[in-house]
Structure 1
Amino acid sequence: MQPKNKVSITRRTIMYGLASTAIFAPTILRAETSAPVRRNTSSFRTHRWEDHFETLGVGLILSDTASKVLQHWTQDGEMRLYPTSVPLSEDLTRLGYTEVVEKRKNPSWAPTPSMRERNPEWPARILGGDPANPLGTRALYLSWQYYRIHGTQDTRKIGRRSSNGCIGLYNEHIEEVFDRTPVGTQVKLI
């Protein structure tokens, strides 16, 4: 009989100890060397409209492609902030001044000629209201051909580089912006 305070070491206890060390060691090492993760909300940078436009006019939209946020000011100066998706790459990104020239509820979608070149398997057209429609429930058409601020059915895209040039918002957010944005609203993408 062994005394009560003596610990019995067997091959099985050694194997369990080695196995648990092997399992948890990578996690411990990763925790010690990894940098803190910045979440999308903490990376939002807000801008003053006066730094980009001369007057509020009928309203303003400023979309920051670096921090993936859209700021919308109404004519009376009320500002709201929305997370966005932005173009996949710099060559798909157009920056500068434009304006809202048209608004559409449940817009249909057709790929641009360059999209068809890159993705010939894509359909020629998707009707509005179709769950596969990448424009979501609303679209603001800009004075730049093929560029839109629109909703998305795929909410995983928000906060990421995921579009072919447009600025995407959650459907509930684009519906709010759509209702508050008249044609002629000034827009700037930075």
Structure 2
Amino acid sequence: MTNFRNSELTKRKFIKLIASAPVIASPFLGSAAVAQEIAMQEQDAVRHNISSFRAVDWREHFDTLGEGVIVADTVSRALHFWTADNGAGVGGYKLYPTSVPISEELTRRGYTSVIKKVEGPTWTPTPSMRERDPSLPRVVPAGPKNPLGTHALYLSWQYYRIHGTHDTRKIGRKASDGCIGLYNEMIADLYSRVPVGMRVRVI
């Protein structure tokens, strides 16, 4: 989907470039040079919109792999999942892009664990959410309007979840009130692999 704001910026860049471009004998060469400059600037803008992915090793956060672990990275907006230890200190590995909390105030970091798994979760706004927005419903049932998507992993921290989202625009962005969000198909995949009790670290 075209981003209107980025489109307007591109038009302004084009006009600016046309106005400042040197006169070149061949109109074709002139337009090609301008087009190349615009493409380079757009690529630079895209790079700045991509979160800075970083590799993570479970050994940086846990003493043992055990039945598997999760590291949710709020900086690079990715969830790292390692499956059960095969006896050699090595397990399988999966990586999922995520949404993250919209502010530092809403971001909680540290160690927690999965205490419950729910397919087709209902959503109940927290007291602080209702305080900020009294118009919020008390409960949203499972379905396409539910902010928790199709599956949810409940953490030992009250109100915190790893869950899906029907709004795919949120993935890769600061878009939640504290939870970690995944595409619905990806939370379904993670849900099928994660047992209750799995250890989680949010960094």
For Structure 1 versus Structure 2, the TM-score category normalised by the shorter chain is 0.7 to 0.9
Partner of residue 132 from structure 1, selected from 138, 145, 156:
145
* Aligned position for 1:26: 16
Alpha carbons 2:51, 2:76 under 8 Å: kept: no
Segments of 5+ residues of structure 2 without an aligned counterpart are 1-11, 21-36, 86-90
Provide the identity percentage.
58
Q: Report the structure number with the largest CA radius of gyration.
A: 1
**What code does the residue aligned with 2:98 have?**
T
After TM superposition, list the pairs within 5 Å mapping 1:144-183 onto structure 2. Answer: 144-183=157-196
TM-score normalized with structure 1 length:
0.82
Q: Does 1:73 align with 2:90?
A: no
Alignment root-mean-square deviation, CA: 2.3
Partner of residue 114 from structure 1, selected from 91, 110, 128:
128
- CA gap of 1:73–1:40, structure 2 versus 1, over 3 A, is farther
Question: Which whole-Å CA distance do the structure 2 matches of 1:57 and 1:40 have between them?
Answer: 36
Question: Which whole-Å CA distance do the structure 1 matches of 2:123 and 2:198 have between them?
Answer: 22
Alpha carbons 2:51, 2:77 under 8 Å: kept: no
- CA gap of 1:167–1:42, structure 2 versus 1, over 3 A, is closer
Question: Which whole-Å CA distance do the structure 2 matches of 1:23 and 1:42 have between them?
Answer: 24
Aligned residues: 168
- CA gap of 1:25–1:70, structure 2 versus 1, over 3 A, is same
**What code does the residue aligned with 1:183 have?**
V
Question: Which whole-Å CA distance do the structure 2 matches of 1:147 and 1:184 have between them?
Answer: 15
Offset from partner CA, 1:107-134 (integer Å, 9 cap, x none): 1001000000111111110111x21100
Q: CA deviation at 1:38?
A: 1.7
- CA gap of 1:53–1:23, structure 2 versus 1, over 3 A, is closer
* Aligned position for 2:64: 55
Question: Which whole-Å CA distance do the structure 2 matches of 1:23 and 1:162 have between them?
Answer: 29
Higher relative contact order (CA 8 A, sep 6+): 1
Alpha carbons 1:57, 1:185 under 8 Å: kept: no
TM-score normalized with structure 2 length:
0.77
